[in-house]
Structure 1
Amino acid sequence: MNNNLVLQTDFGTSDGAVSAMYGVAISVNPAIRIFDLTHDIPQYHIWEGSYRLYQTVSYWPEGTVFVSVVDPGVGSERRSIVAKTALNQYIITPDNGTLTHIKNSIGIVEVRIIDESVNRLPHSGESYTFHGRDVYAYTGARLASNLIAFEEVGPEVPVESVIELPKAEARISNHILTGNIDILDIRFGNLWTNIDRVLFKDLSAGYGDSFEVTIENDTRQVYKNIMTYGRTFADIHLGEPLLYVNSLDKIGVAINQGSFAKAYHIETGASWKISIRKVPKIIYN
């Protein structure tokens, strides 16, 4: 381990919950290095917690310990687990689907259930509503500080037993590429799809080409227009839409210096579909 502990929650920072997790970790090891992934996951939004881990984990060194707490089932029979990734990092989380993207895109090689008889903040045994502090931060700090080995977390369980959320796959049929709006680039309002750049290239896509983009929510069409595939936002005029490759090598949809999500009231999830079809390039005389 490398003493790095990275925290993600849906707690926000308007009260003392995140600070309490910091305090527990520092009490375990004053030299521990604590970082925030985000504490702005929408409340109970397990899918977004899963995606933000996928967005981040692979850029951290081996041995980094992540604690992710988006836990609408806290205190229930859901398992508390530690997963070892194929990149040799560790993720501590409730087993409620938070590991969906990591399992699919990075890989999980071993999973252990947290033995709370050993790995629980002392004198917290009667509290069942703040496992982020009492179980996850405490165990994460001990693991990151080499006070316990991964094998001492608790009993091993099959990787296949980890709960996954439904996750659609992008595909091409009849020269139309379909996928989902997985997540938003929140600050800028860009749409991040589940469409890999490599699959998009199967449409014979080149920079400057034009595409018809359709966005639907269930059976309601929300958006349909022609836009350009650009290398950067500077490739199109201010206020115009474009397709681009985002930082995770997926296809994104944006407005140059505007919020696509706000402009067209677009959200994310399994019901939000996107279709992309190449059209002849429009040339104005």
Structure 2
Amino acid sequence: MKKALVLQSDFGSSDGAVSAMHGVSHSVDHQLSIFDLTHDIPPFNIWEASYRLWQTMMYWKKGTVFVSVVDPGVGSTRRSLGVKTGTGHFVITPDNGTLTHIDRTAGIIEAREIDETINRLPHSGESYTFHGRDIYAYTGARLAAGVITFEQVGPRVDVPSLTHLMVKKPQIHGRVVEGLIDILDIRFGNLWTNIQRSLFKEMKVDYGDTLEVVILHNGRPVYQNEMTFGRSFADTHMGEPLVYVNSLDNLAVAINQGSFAKAYGIGTGSNWEISFRKVKE
């Protein structure tokens, strides 16, 4: 039975790269259902590629095949992988850290290195700079269409050997909860953290309480302020900051009808730490 194929990359849409990936996938099976997750990952940003996979995968049917190509090491000795997740999804991607968030949450139960002698677009053997088309889209489409089984992707590799990005786990110290700024709600400039609502509520914070928010970049403070913990943006005036629970059930920070990220020059990743402290009344 055919499975959906979902493509992600940092290629953008200003040239024919994405269309070429679609074309290769379609040539494998013209009835294959092909979708785009995003092709606007910032160039070479493996962290964001990892996060967007995690953000999206849980809402797709079991068996869906994801192809993620953010590959600054294209043409090098880095491995090309196919993995099966604990949720029953499949990912075709370089072994460069793109699987970090998925492995931490859904888990990876099996990994295989792509056998390029079988799973490579015919007559592309001398191409070393477009593996997204020649290897990943081609292999992903063959797996989604049922042309190959997962076992036929290639030889099995040890899951612990996969490359991971550094991640700081959220934790509580007294009245302070700490974590990372995982990603931006890009269009609106909100900060999405990796601090789960369930962990945050252990501090017995109620809606309407005041929190002190501190943001560090490479260990240096770049922002500190007090703001309200609210249910939605309606709990603050326009232009005021707010702490809220986002659509993934994690803590987030925003400016009502403004971009927090642009206002304060905030980025994302393992070197952007954030903490919340309940202010005593």
Same fold (TM over 0.5): yes
Deviation, structure 1 residue 72: 0.6
Partner amino acid, structure 2, of 1:63: G
Secondary structure in structure 2 of the residue aligned to 1:275: strand
Deviation, structure 1 residue 270: 2.1
Alignment pair present for 1:236 and 2:239 = no
Encode CA deviations 1:148-185: one digit per residue, 9 max, x unaligned: 11111111111111111111111111321121111111
Partner amino acid, structure 1, of 2:191: L
Encode CA deviations 1:14-62: one digit per residue, 9 max, x unaligned: 1111000000011111111111101011111111100000100111001
Alignment pair present for 1:173 and 2:210 = no
Partner amino acid, structure 1, of 2:49: G
Residue 85 (structure 1) aligns with: 85
Secondary structure in structure 2 of the residue aligned to 1:202: helix
Residue 209 (structure 1) aligns with: 209
How many pairs are equivalent? 281
Secondary structure in structure 2 of the residue aligned to 1:143: helix
Partner amino acid, structure 2, of 1:185: D
Q: What is the RMSD computed on CA atoms of the aligned residues?
A: 1.1
Deviation, structure 1 residue 243: 0.7
* Structure 2: distance between partners of 1:218 and 1:165: 16
* Structure 2: distance between partners of 1:65 and 1:228: 41
| 8 Å contact kept, 1:10–1:69 | yes
Secondary structure in structure 1 of the residue aligned to 2:269: coil
Deviation, structure 1 residue 268: 1.3
* Structure 1: distance between partners of 2:219 and 2:171: 19
* Structure 2: distance between partners of 1:66 and 1:218: 32
| 8 Å contact kept, 1:2–1:64 | no
Secondary structure in structure 2 of the residue aligned to 1:101: helix
What residue ranges of structure 1 are gaps of 5+ in the alignment?
none
* Structure 2: distance between partners of 1:180 and 1:163: 20
What is the 5 A alignment of 1:1-285? Answer: 2-281=2-281
Secondary structure in structure 2 of the residue aligned to 1:270: strand
Deviates more, 1:169-178 or 1:247-256: 169-178
Partner amino acid, structure 2, of 1:191: L
| 8 Å contact kept, 1:211–1:227 | yes
Encode CA deviations 1:116-172: one digit per residue, 9 max, x unaligned: 000110000111111100011111111101111111111111111111111111111
Q: TM-score, normalised by structure 2?
A: 0.97
* Structure 2: distance between partners of 1:244 and 1:126: 51
Deviation, structure 1 residue 211: 0.6
What residue ranges of structure 2 are gaps of 5+ in the alignment?
none
Q: Percent identity?
A: 65
